[in-house]
Amino acid sequence: MMGIGILAGGFLTHQIIKHRPNLIGVVPVVSALLLPLAMMTFLFSANAIISLRALALAGFLIPAYTAPCFTMLHSVVPPSARAFLTTILLSVASLVGLGCGPLVVGFLSDLFTPWAGPTSLRYALILPGLLPFLTAFFFYLSARSLVEDAQRMPTL
């Protein structure tokens, strides 16, 4: 699902910005707002089929803002710095998401074990499941002025 999510996010963003460049942030904002709903359905559904479908939806939504993110970054960065800043973006995302994410979830799961027992991992996953709301907010803020910022970009 992740590959389909990346392709769909890029395709939808491309279709939207062809006609309305100022709406470049729509796909990342919408996917980031829907992701917590999919995650909470996955975590708390008693029905295994519904839970797995919600997980598949989350697997689609998580990477859906990858292509728009790179488009937004490359719109406001000079061509000579794009490779470097893309590397920085991917490095920070990997260090925070893959490096700190499991550590924080494990810590929270251990912290919640006295009162949640064997379901402590479920409750520990709520925090990363809600972080996309913050992601949507930052995508919204950055997309508001992106067209103007891109127009101020010197052409080389």
Contacts of 8 (CB under 8 A, 6+ apart): 60, 64
Phi and psi at residue 145, in whole multiples of 5°? -115, 10
In 3D space, the residue among 43, 39, 62 whose CA is nearest the CA of residue 129 turns out to be: 39
pTM listed for this prediction: 0.80
- pLDDT tens by residue, 104-130: 999 999 999 999 999 999 999 988 888
pLDDT surpasses 90 at 81: no
